[in-house]
Amino acid sequence: MVESFGGGVFQSVKQICNNLPRDLFKVYLVYSFRRETPRDWERHFKEDVVKIYLPMTREISPLNDLRALWGLLKLIKMYDPDIVHLHSSKAGFLGRLACFLARKRAVFYSPRGFSFLMRDVSSFKRALFFHLEKLASLFGGTILACSPGEFEESLKLTDRALLLNNAIDLREIDDVSPHRFEDSDKVRVAISGRVAYARAPWLFRRIAQSLSSPKVEFLWIGGGELEEELKGSPVKVLGWLDRREALSYLKGIDIYLQTSLWEGMPLSVLEAMACGKPVVATNVVGNRDVVVHGETGFIGRDEEELIAFLRELIDKPELRLSMGLRGRKRVEEFYSLDVLIRDLTSIYLKGVSG
C-alpha cells in the first residue's frame, strides 16, 4: 500500500511488486495518485499485479483520512492478506491502524524518509509528525528502514525495526547507453529528480554559479515546482524525461551532486554510483549512509566544502574514475535488487510464520 506514489517511492514499490517470487506470493497494490505519479504508471507493473485505487491525501485531513481508513478496512476484509507492506508516512499511519483493527500480524512499514525530518515545515509540525509516528508504532507492525540513518531514527519510535537497504535494478541501468553530449570536453555535474524544496535548488544554483566555466556545465535531470529558483543561473534544467532517457543522461555525466536537505536513502545517488559516477552530497541521513567519504565520493558539511570537493573532482579525472568504480562495486555488494528481494522474502516469510 502506498500514498506517495511517485519519485523514489514509486521506483521502490515497483521493484518489490514486480520481483517478488510468484511461487510464494500473489501481489496486490493499493495506491493513490500524486502529481509526480508517472502518467503511464501501469505499464511499469507486471500484469499479474492486482491494482486497487484508494484515494488518500498527503495532508492531514480528518474527513478524507477517515474515508481512506474505512476503505482500507473494507479491502482488508475483502482480500484477507497474509502480509501487509506500507510505504510512506500517510499509508504507514492509516495502514497500521487498519491492520490493528483487523487484527493483522504480519505488517511492515517502510517510511522512505520520515516526515518529522522534513525541513520545509515548522518545528511544531515536525514535533506533531514525530508523535503521530510514535502513536502509530503502538498499533503494531515492523519498521523496515531503508538506510542505517533511518534505522537509528526508527529506534526512537519502537524496538520493532529492521534495516532493509534501498536497492536498484542494475540490469535496468546496464541496458541504457550513455547520452552523447555535443561538447565532450566539458565536465558535467548533475542532480536527478524533482526540483523541490527537499533538494535545495537554491544551493545547487549557488554552487553552479561558483564553479561554472566554459569547461564545466551543470544539469538538473528533472523538473518541478521550484524551477524558478534556477532561472537565470548556469544550471540547465532538462525537465521531466522518460526513465530510460533520464538514466542515459545520468550515465553521460561526470560528477553527481546531491544537495538534499533530508532523505531516506536516495535512489538517485545509488543510480549515479551504479553508473560509475563519484558523488558529492550534503551531510544528511541517507546521503552519508551510502556515500563512503573519500572512497566513493565526498560528504560536505556546508556549501564551502561541497564546492571544494567538486573543484577537486573537476580537476582530477583519474580521481573521478577511481571513485566511480568503487561506487559501482559498493552498489553491487550492498544495494542490488537481488539482495533486497532475497532479504525481503525472508522477512515476509518469518512474519507469517512468527
Q: What is the pLDDT of residues 221-247, one digit of tens each?
A: 999 999 999 999 999 999 999 989 999
Apex 96 CA angle, 90 and 98, nearest 5: 100
What mean pLDDT, rounded, does the chain reach? 94
Q: Are residues 329 and 182 in the same domain?
A: yes
Q: How many domains does the chain have?
A: 2
Instruction: Kindly state whether residue 2 falls inside one of the protein's structural domains.
Output: no
Task: Note the pLDDT tens digit of each residue in 70-95.
Answer: 999 999 999 999 999 999 999 999 99
Q: How confident is the model at residue 349 (pLDDT cuts 50, 70, 90)?
A: very high
Instruction: Kindly state whether residue 1 falls inside one of the protein's structural domains.
Output: no
Q: Is 187 helix (H, G, I), strand (E, B) or coil?
A: strand
- Please name the amino acid found at residue 221: I
Res 315 pLDDT > 90? yes
Cell numbers linked to 330: 559498493
Q: Are residues 315 and 344 in the same domain?
A: no
Full domain range(s) for residue 45: 7-167+336-353
Q: Are residues 186 and 283 in the same domain?
A: yes
For residue 60, the model assigns a pLDDT of 84
Q: Are residues 136 and 181 in the same domain?
A: no
Contact between residue 82 and residue 352 where contact means Cβ atoms under 8 Å apart = yes
- CB-based burial of residue 284 (10 Å sphere; 0-12 exposed, 13-18 middle, 19+ buried)? buried
